[in-house]
Amino acid sequence: MGVLMAVVAHPDDEAFGMGGTLARYAAEGHVVYVVSATRGEAGQIAGEVAAPANLPVVRERELGCACRAYGARPPMFLDYLDGQLPIVHQGQAVGKLVRLIRELRPDVIITFGPDGVYGHYDHIAVHRWATIAYTLANDPDCFPGQLDEVCQPHQVHKLYYQVLLEEELEEWRAQGQEPVVMMDDVPFPMVGWKRSDISTVIDIRAYAEAKRAGLLCHRSQISDASEWTGEEALASSMFREEVYVLARSTVERPDGVEDDLFRGLGRNHGDRTEGCRRPPTRP
């Protein structure tokens, strides 16, 4: 089976737009990894489940809880600080990701689109890093020091951007909810994509419960859990489908909309030999 890697900026980034996808591919027998650039230490705290001093530890645990709910491997972290990704040395961050790609040898990577879902500067930085790392991981001239440690170059087959559908945002507006995220007291509008621009729709209805369980793990980020536990929530499009744009691919692109991130890769895709002698970086 294959290997799927999600690359995000903060614990809980995976929950809203990718949780069902992660659960589906884990259930189908693929190895699923979640890599988070930070431990979400700058975010607001909902309720009293954490304090600023222990927030990174709490959020690391919450992402671990969510990964268990999806059936993914324990999460990995790039060890950067929340809110500071745009000023991180890009070459260093890409090097860390390339190293992880060479170790874990994913067939498919999912990450944010160029809009960062709602323009979050950390998301946009991660989008850039993952997009660059997709190409560089297979280039033996890039980060050759890693190859001395018996890391082999690795070609990821596909890179997908997770995005939101404009029609989903319309659904929110119809319910009187403005699709914006408050950041530093500034409302950042969520970015909706036209359905005609979507390449891939993942049906997650069978994994709605796993997605919800993952979401509820992020207790320090959820002010009102009841929002996600009612029948109404489960009936919303968030628990029906997750949508992606195929950004890079080593296999031919589909004519129409595809329903599988591993489409075209065959059953024996990827080589499962370990790329690096040392075990993957863990927190």
Q: Which residue lies nearer to Zn ion by CB, 142 or 190?
A: 190
Q: Is residue 41 at the binding interface for Zn ion, with CB under 5 A as the rule?
A: no
How far apart are CB 183 and Zn ion at their closest, in Å?
Answer: 10
Minimum CB separation from Zn ion for residue 97, in Å?
A: 17
Residue 168 to residues 129, 171, 254, Cα–Cα distance (Å): 27, 5, 24
Query: At closest approach, how far in Å is the CB of 120 from Zn ion?
Result: 5
Q: Which of 135, 133, 60 is nearest to 90 (CA)?
A: 133
Q: Which is nearer to Zn ion, 37 or 100 (CB)?
A: 37
Determine the Cα angle at 259 with ends 135 and 199, to 5°: 55
Of residues 1 and 46, the one with the C-beta less far from Zn ion: 46
Least distance from C-beta 121 to Zn ion, angstroms?
10
Contacts of residues 44-49 at CB distance under 8 Å and 24 or more positions apart, as own/partner, are 44/221, 45/220, 46/219, 46/220, 46/221, 46/222, 46/223, 47/219, 47/220, 47/223, 49/219, 49/220
Task: Find the distance separating the first CA and the last CA of the chain, reported in whole Å.
Answer: 26
Contact residue for Zn ion among 2, 10, 63, 157 (CB under 5 A): 10
Specify the residue, 127 or 154, whose C-beta has the smaller distance to Zn ion: 127
Q: Which is nearer to Zn ion, 10 or 105 (CB)?
A: 10
192 φ/ψ angles, rounded to the nearest 5 degrees = -100, 145
Under the binding rule (CB under 5 A), the answer on residue 9 touching Zn ion is yes
Which residue from 2, 4, 5, 13 is in contact with Zn ion, where contact means CB under 5 A?
13
Q: Are 76 and 281 in contact (CB under 8 A)?
A: yes
Q: Which stretch binds Zn ion (CB under 5 A): 13-21, 81-89, 162-170, 240-248?
A: 13-21
Minimum separation from the CB atom of position 162 to Zn ion (A) = 12
Report phi then psi at 275, rounded to 5: -85, -25
Residues that bind Zn ion (CB under 5 A): 9-10, 13
